[in-house]
Amino acid sequence: MAVPYKKVGRKDPRKADSAVRFYPQLVTMGQSANLDSIAYKMKEASSLSVGDIQSVLTNFVEAMRSSLYNGQSVNIRDFGVFSLSAHTTGAETEKECSTKNIVSMKINFRPSSSVRPSLTSTRAGEKIEFLDVVAALAAQQPSDDPGNDGGGGGGEDPDA
């Protein structure tokens, strides 16, 4: 499996006369993986049923949320650390500073080195391969050969 990307041209917005430079941009293809699809993949690698795995993952999310809301970070060995952060506004005095200054909250994730992507990995299961989506699609297009109409039917009526 390869990580799909496309080439995107961009100009430097700080310079009006800058030349276009092309950058690879990762592309998400297809539908997102959901709890059902992840549980099915896990079932294939274990002796647990899909229902057992779904129950464990659902309970894990609830337990993690509870721990985060109690001010703890959640460290999953060989996966990463989850923690809360807040976007806040400043106050002129310490007395004016309160929870009303919290604008929004988010959950941060810091992956452990065992799951962090590495471009230099040489192990077969960890090596990341890339696929140029536009080039792959162009390779699948039928040629513009006039002798190949791509339909294979030759315009004849099969019921005649």
Query: Domain limits at 38?
Result: 3-9+22-140
pLDDT in tens, 88-109: 999 889 899 888 999 999 999 9
CA gap 13, 52 in Å, rounded: 52
CB 136 within 8 A of CB 8: no
The strand pair at 21-26 and 74-76 is best described as: unpaired
Q: Is residue 129 part of a domain?
A: yes
The pLDDT assigned to 65 comes to 93
Cα end-to-end span (Å), the chain: 46
Q: Is residue 39 part of a domain?
A: yes
The pLDDT assigned to 87 comes to 92
Check pLDDT > 60 for residue 110: yes
Q: Is residue 79 part of a domain?
A: yes
The pLDDT assigned to 122 comes to 67
Check pLDDT > 80 for residue 23: yes
Q: Is residue 78 part of a domain?
A: yes
For residue 150, is it left (φ>0), alpha (ψ between -120 and 50) or beta?
Answer: left
CB 2 within 8 A of CB 127: no
Q: Is residue 81 part of a domain?
A: yes
Give me 18's structure tokens.
């800058």
Q: Is residue 54 part of a domain?
A: yes
Q: Is residue 72 part of a domain?
A: yes
Q: What is the CATH number of the domain that holds 48?
A: 4.10.520.10
Q: Is residue 16 part of a domain?
A: no
Task: List C-alpha distances in Å: 82 to 5, 49, 75, 111.
Answer: 28, 27, 6, 9
Neighbouring CB atoms inside 10 A of 149's CB total 11
pLDDT in tens, 27-85: 887 787 888 888 999 999 999 999 999 999 999 999 999 999 999 999 999 899 999 99
The pLDDT assigned to 58 comes to 93
The tally of domains found in the chain comes to 1
User: Is the pLDDT higher at 94 or at 150?
Assistant: 94
Q: Could you tell me where the DSSP H helices lie in the chain?
A: 35-44, 50-69, 133-140
